[in-house]
A and B are shown apart, each in its own frame.
Chain A
């Protein structure tokens, strides 16, 4: 199979590193003789890989997983704390809300029926007061 220009471009690094199978390596070699662009790239690649690739770090300075695991656990603990905190706060709010709930008459007073009842109660009280005043006057 003949390699295309695009395929060879993708294979240049392996060619420069001598990792291509013999047949493919020969094809790339032929292509480089006729293609200035790929030839230039392979030369630059060789220089860069020689200077940078030789001492490439293969492992991190310290294993990564213990740090990641710790952070994940910390986040999970934080999430649970937040959930229980929110639940506790919600419970407290409900308790306070119930404890300071207005009396039934005040609740009723907010509704049309409550308003009507409230007015009726005021009338009765006013009538009672007037009656008491009148009776008091009669006795005196």
Chain B
């Protein structure tokens, strides 16, 4: 399924994209920045280098530089949370809910699990990493 082509877009339909070559899984980030940006529960799909192509509405994509090294994209018309990405390099994560379907994709990781409010939790077992574990593994704090 690594060569599968997926499609997605924002709520109002202004922004549409094609995602090629993404691994068939998604993860949750519970850091306070992702929670504020998305409104609560940020699920995202890793975008391989060059894997994302805007089909329409690229001019409707607004970005907000949220830290020294990362930025977030949203639709300026409807406010859909679209992505997180590094300002330099290729690392990018696309909001899972913006995909037309998540069928066949597995939920494989939760990061910043110690920042998740106790009020809700995802059922099931998967890799879970605390903030300290993420910083140790990737060498970055707030994103």
Do chains A and B interact in one complex?
Answer: no
Q: Residues of A with Cβ closer than 8 Å to B?
A: none
